[in-house]
Structure formats: C-alpha cells, structure tokens
A and B are shown apart, each in its own frame.
Chain A
Amino acid sequence: MTSVIRTRKLVKTFSKGLRALDEISMEVKKKEVLVVMGPSGSGKSTLIRTFNGLETFDSGELEIVGIPLHSDHNERNVREIRKRVGMVFQQFNLFPHLSILENITLAPIKVQKQNRIEAEEHAMSLLSQMGIITQARKYPSQLSGGEQQRVAIARALALKPELLLFDEPTSALDPERVGEVLDAIRSLAEKGMTMVVVTHEVGFAKEVADKVLFMDSGKVIETSTPEVFFTNAKHERSRKFLNQIGE
C-alpha cells in the first residue's frame, strides 16, 4: 500500500522555545482512517494543519500525497497539496456572503477550471449525499450548525480529494447535532476515503478508526489500533487521558 502522509522528525517551535511539534514521525496509508487524540494544547491541531500547509514547520520531512514539503514552505507545492487534500474545520468556516451552492462550486470553478454546469451538478450530488439537497440556494446563516458542517464536508469533497482532514469537526456543534455529522464522516470511511480526524468522540474512534494516534506536549505518545488503545493502552499517559475523558 502507498502512503498518503509521511512525516519524519517534524519539529515546530513557537517563540519562547515551546515545541508544538516535537520530532513527529508517522505515516498514513491509502484508505486508512487515522484518529488523532490528545489533551488540548497537545499539538494535534497544529499537526493536522501542517498537512495542508496552514502551519509552517521548522525542520524535518513531510510528504503529502506524494508531494514533498520543506520548511521553506514552497508555495507551488503547498497549492498543489491543497488542491488534492480537503479540510473541514471546527468552526465550519463557510463563506457567509456566498450561497451553499456557490460555497461548494467556488473552488472547482476557480481552481480546477471546471465549467459552472458541471461543477453545480457535482455539487448537487454531493449535497444529496450529505442529505441537505433542499438547502442549496440558502445562505450559511440560515442553516443549523450540523447542516453547515455537512456543507463544509461537501465543499471539501468537491475537489475530489485524495485525503480529507477533519479538525475537531463536532466540537462546535450542539450535542443533538453531533450524530448527523459523524454519520456523514462514517459513510465516507466506508467508501474508502483516506482520512485524518482530530476528535474527542470515543465511540466514533472505536468504530471507524484503523489507527489511533495519541499526542501529548507535541510528542507522539503511542499509535495503536482502537481495540488496543481503548482497552489496553500501552502508555501510562494514554491511560491517564482516557480516564480523564471517562473511558
């Protein structure tokens, strides 16, 4: 199997010498679902954001969908990666001045130079896949949080990405809206999408993840299958974390 993400000794230092990423070496293979867990401030968001160039790093090696990225943050490579990697944010980050349909078709038309009709057809099929096809002409502020997040997923899918990144996709949602978003992600996993998901949802991780990566203070503490991680974690700090979140 080919690897979609590969990092070697990735280091990012904030001012005052604090290490957000401390020699991270890891790998994600094709069709794999990796769930990243860890206490807040552990660097898991920073890690996932370096995967599409939203964060720079100071040293180490990073290769995403076969494209190398170095600490000089070569813009051509970054843009090539972003065209092939989708990202879903905690705060949805939909464009408030564009309709749902325009939100989804913007990148296909502008970046991939698709024609409008083709892009809209694809967008509609994605919306129906997400179960919100009736909302296509509305604006983001008219939708519930769960619906907005599903639009954000459709938007990320519109470029037919080889890898999807989720940065705490359910943390900003009302509890009763979490399920619909997780269901959407689960159905993507079943279709064989390669994904990295930062989340605190243990049930989801148990069910969908192929591997769980646990981070603390910028370091990878352990990488295990969910069966091992949730029942018999290798590391003391992982067990402590699981205790704290009530598992």
Chain B
Amino acid sequence: MRIKRYRGLFIQVIVSTLFISIVALFINNLSVNLLRAGLGLNFSWLFRSAGFALAEHPLPYSPSSSYAWALFMGWLNSLKVISSSLLIATLIGFLVGFASTGTNTLLRILSKLYVTLIRQTPLLLQLMFWYFVGFLSIQGEIFSPIKGMLSLSNQGIILSGINLSPEFSSLLVGLGIFTAAYISEVVRGGINSVPIGQWEAFRSLGLSENDGLYKIIMPQALPAILPGLTSQYLNLAKNSTLAIAVGYADIYAIGDTVITQTGRAIEGFLLLLLSFLLLNLIISNLMELLNKYILTYKQR
C-alpha cells in the first residue's frame, strides 16, 4: 500500500517537473523573442487612440477613441449578433425538431434533408454564401410585403425602421440556420427520450397532438434538452467569431485589427481570451438560471 502511494507521488512529481520545465522553456523563449522585438508585456497602449473607423458601433465611437473602447464596441457587437441569432436558431431549431418527430412524413423528410445539408458543409462557406450570394447579389428590393416594415435588399434587412447591415444580416441568417440544425437534433433527441407509452397515453385520452406535445411530452423532454441546448449556445458564441469573414466588426475581428496595428500579440490574445470567458460565463449562467426555473416549475 505504502509503495503504491509513493509511486503515485513519484509519477506526479515527474510529470509536473516535465510540464513545468516545458512551460518554462516556452516562456523563456517567449520573453527572449519579445525582448528582441522590443516588446515587454504591458497594457498602456490600450488607452491610445485606435485610429480606425467602425461601420457598426452600438455606443458613440470615432477613430480617436481608445483601443480599449474599440475592443468594447467589438464585444458589444458580438453580444448583439450572438443574442439575436440565438433567438432565431432556437425558434427554427425547435420547429424543425418538432417537425422531425411529427406525423407529417413529408415534413420529416424535409427536416432530415435540411439537417444533413447544413451539417455536412462548413459554416464558413455557408456564411460566405449568405453574404455574397444571399445579400450582396440582391438587385433592388426583392421582398417587402409591408412598405417600410420589413424589406430585404443588398443594404441588409430593414425591420420596422431598424436597419440591419448586410454583414449583420448574413451572420444572423447564417449562424441562425446553422445552429438551428444542431438544436433540432438536440430537441429530437430530447423528445425521443420520452417513453413511447406517454404518447400512447395522451392519445388514448383524446388529447390532440399539439396539446399532448405541449402538456405531456415537452415538460418531460426539456430536462434532457437543456444541457444540449446550452452547449449549442456556447458553440454559437464561439462560431460568431467567423464574423471576420464577412467583415462584421465583432470582438475577434477588432482584436485581430488591434494586434496587427500594435503588434501586441500576447496582450491582445489575453484580452480576447478574457472576453470569450465573459461571454461563456454569461451564457452558461443564464442557462443555469433557466434550468433551475424549469426544475422548480416542474416540482412546484
């Protein structure tokens, strides 16, 4: 027994030493390289003026604003595109999930087709498609059922006076449709985890399919759906960094510009990490709250 314990300690010491020495070697190389380039680690450059313009900024911003403010604008832009495509993805995802477990065979085939098509092609390609083919190639207004309320054009989407840029719109549509395919699979899995007897029981009571889904199946499926939903939301947040490909100024795109301008790679990278951490924390905490709410609602 004692020999065993010492052996465990021995392995740990060796692995830790190995690990620490590798890290130390890396850090040593890093500092040598940084010193050579005349770049010590510091953050004071954050408060110098950024000098670049931003097409979209939720709060007042000009090229004379600081790098820190520019990064914050990027973070807010990320938050904006994440939260809005999250709503769209959830809506479509649940609808497709319902359709893929529903009684209409045509609808089932169609949702299966949608899911495979979306999942077997890269998201980046899809985003470029929505941007270059979906929005920039539109000639004139193609869709405006109510004048001034909703219109689609190469200027983006206009929704009751709010003008969404084509960059934002293509991200919104692309991320929404992409994530919805994954969410629909989560929803389908959750619904299928409810025993078949529950369906038979509500049907035998004469309840309609909609009533049964809403009153009987979903309350039991939700606990199984929520964890998957959370990880899809986190994926959505991570995937939103592909915004750079369509020229939308999210946190990563601005971080990229800032690093290229200042050469402050390490600091810039650390700031990027921090902002992602913050986004992740927001999403997982909100989902945790939702989870608790649903559990208490369930038990009453």
Interface residues in chain A, defined as those with a beta carbon under 8 Å from any beta carbon in chain B = 49, 52-54, 79, 82-83, 85-87, 89, 91, 93-97, 106-107, 110-111, 155-156, 159
SS of B interface (majority): helix
Residues of A within 8 A of B207 (CB): 106-107, 110-111
A95 to B219, CA, bound (A): 10
A-B contact pairs, 8 of them (CB 8 A): A54-B204, A82-B203, A87-B200, A93-B198, A95-B216, A107-B207, A111-B206, A155-B205
Residues of B within 8 A of A85 (CB): 204
Chain B: CB-nearest residue to A55: B200
Instruction: Say whether B205 contacts A89, CB under 8 Å.
Output: no
Q: Mark B198-230, 1 if CB is under 8 A from A, else 0.
A: 101111111110010001100110000000000
Chain B: CB-nearest residue to A155: B205
Instruction: Say whether A106 contacts B205, CB under 8 Å.
Output: yes
Residues of A within 8 A of B211 (CB): 110
Instruction: Say whether A93 contacts B197, CB under 8 Å.
Output: yes
Contact of A79 among B206, B215, B216 (CB under 8 A): B206
Known: A95-B216, A97-B298. 20 other contacts (CB 8 A): A49-B200, A52-B204, A53-B203, A79-B206, A83-B206, A86-B204, A91-B195, A93-B195, A93-B198, A93-B201, A95-B198, A97-B219, A97-B220, A106-B215, A107-B206, A110-B215, A111-B206, A111-B207, A156-B204, A156-B205
A156 to B200, CA, bound (A): 13
Interface positions, chain B 166-211, Cβ under 8 Å from A, are 195, 197-198, 200-208, 211
Given known pairs A106-B215, A110-B215, the reply for A93 and B208 (CB within 8 Å) is no
Residues of A within 8 A of B220 (CB): 95-97
Chain A: CB-nearest residue to B223: A97
A85 to B205, CA, bound (A): 8
Contact of A87 among B204, B216, B219 (CB under 8 A): B204
A54 to B204, CA, bound (A): 8
A97 to B198, CA, bound (A): 11
A93 to B207, CA, bound (A): 15
- Minimal beta-carbon separation of A164 from chain B (angstroms): 11
Instruction: Say whether A95 contacts B201, CB under 8 Å.
Output: yes
A86 to B200, CA, bound (A): 12
Residues of B within 8 A of A89 (CB): 197, 200-201, 204
